[in-house]
Amino acid sequence: MKLISITNGIILVAALLVALTVIQITIQSESSTGVAGEMLPAFELPLLHDESSVLRSESLKGQVMILNVWASWCIPCRLEHPLLMELSQDKSLNLYGINYRDLRGDALKWLEFYGNPYHLTMVDSMAESGAGFGTSGVPETYLVDRQGKIRYRHHGALTRTAWQEEFLPLISHLQEKQ
């Protein structure tokens, strides 16, 4: 009887993992510019590494930046993380993170274990800013211009191909407009 209960538990966990993977792959395969052209929504979010400090959206204006929405529980976030770590070596790139619907302790442990590619990471544990962004899942990555306008939105794990074909040409164009 105990063996049947354990087996049923394993089957249930496996089924949940398969369902989550299918959902994430579906989200990952969709790339869109659904909010391109819209202004970055106003937000005021606490910092992950210093919860007594907040970052306001208006303080990010004046720079071309990448905003990556992620979570420690997100499987595709792990897939894109090595690329984000590589990109973070480019000091001219302003890479910010928004930790989404996550526990602060889990997020801190995750960054400690996998590395921290972000200049700063904000916490959106209640999905308050996610609604303004139109976030439909994690990961999502946004390219934002100096005026705070969203120029590109990528759903799912960021890939080298998406980076080279979508982000880099736009970043080059935006940085030339200095």
6 located within any domain: no
CA distance 45 to 36: 22
User: Is residue 53 assigned to a domain?
Assistant: yes
Domain count, the chain: 1
Mean pLDDT of the chain: 84
Q: What is the pTM of this model?
A: 0.78
Domain carrying residue 70 = 31-176
Residue 76 corresponds to which tokens in the numbers above?
Answer: 């595709």
Residue 36 in domain: yes
Residue 23 domain-assigned? no
Instruction: Evaluate whether residue 139 is within a structural domain.
Output: yes
Average pLDDT of span 91-97: 94
Q: Identify whether 134 is part of a domain.
A: yes
Single-letter amino acid code for the residue at 62? G
Q: What is the pLDDT of residues 37-63, one digit of tens each?
A: 899 888 899 999 999 999 999 999 999
Asked whether residue 160 is assigned to any structural domain, the reply reads yes
Burial 113-126 (b: 16+ CB within 10 A, else e): eeebbbebbbbbee
Q: Which residues pair with 67 in a beta bridge?
A: 96, 142
40 part of a folded domain:
yes
Instruction: Give the pLDDT band of residue 68 (cuts 50, 70, 90).
Output: very high
CATH number for the domain that contains residue 132: 3.40.30.10
> Residue 39: CB partners within 8 Å, gap ≥ 6?
147, 148, 149, 150
Query: Are the beta carbons of 139 and 68 closer than 8 angstroms?
Result: yes
Q: What is the pLDDT of residues 12-31, one digit of tens each?
A: 544 444 344 434 433 333 33
Alpha carbon 116 to its chain centroid, in Å, reads 13
Rounded distance, CA 32 to CA 131, Å?
17
Q: How far apart are CA 143 and CA 68, in angstroms?
A: 9
